[in-house]
Amino acid sequence: MSDVDFESEQYEKCREAGEILAQVRDEAAERVEVGASHLEVAEWAEEEIRDLGGEPAFPVNISIDEEAAHATPERDDETTFGEEMVNLDIGVHVDGWLADTAITVDLSGHDELAAASEEALDAALDVAGPGVDVGDIGAAVEGVIEGYGFNPVVNLTGHGLGHWEQHTSPNIPNRSVSQGAELQPGDVVAIEPFATDGRGKVQEGSSEEIFALEREGSVRDRNARQVLEQISEEFKTLPFAARWLDSARAKMALRRLKQQNIVHGYPVLKEEEGKFVSQKEHTVIVTDDGIEVTTRSR
Residue 38 annotated as binding site: no
Please say if the pLDDT value at position 269 is more than 90. yes
The average pLDDT across 41-57 equals 98
Q: Kindly indicate the confidence band of residue 298, based on its pLDDT and cuts at 50, 70 and 90.
A: confident
For CA atoms 215, 184, 173, 66, the dihedral sign is negative
Residue 167 annotated as binding site: yes
- The set of catalytic residues is 89, 100, 159, 167, 192, 281
Could you read off the pLDDT of 221-243 as tens digits, one per residue? 999 999 999 999 999 999 999 99
The matching CATH number, chosen from 1.10.150.170, 3.90.1150.10, 1.10.287.1080, 3.90.230.10, for 9-202+271-293 is: 3.90.230.10
The average pLDDT across 32-48 equals 98
pLDDT at position 178? 86
CA dihedral 258, 264, 266, 272 (to 10 degrees): 70
Distance CA 154, CA 151 (A): 8
The average pLDDT across 177-198 equals 95
Please say if the pLDDT value at position 180 is more than 90. no
Q: Report the percentage of the chain scoring pLDDT > 70.
A: 100
Distance CA 13, CA 205 (A): 35
What CATH class does 210-268 carry?
Answer: mainly alpha
Q: What mean pLDDT value characterizes the chain?
A: 97
Please say if the pLDDT value at position 179 is more than 80. no
The average pLDDT across 153-157 equals 97
**What count of Cα atoms within 13 Å lies in the side-chain half-sphere of residue 166?**
21
Residue 159 annotated as binding site: yes
Q: In sequence order, what E strands does the chain have?
A: 55-64, 67-69, 85-94, 97-106, 151-152, 158-162, 165-172, 188-191, 194-196, 203-213, 240-241, 263-270, 277-279, 282-286, 291-293
Q: Kindly indicate the confidence band of residue 95, based on its pLDDT and cuts at 50, 70 and 90.
A: very high
Sorted by where each begins, the domain ranges of the chain are 9-202+271-293, 210-268
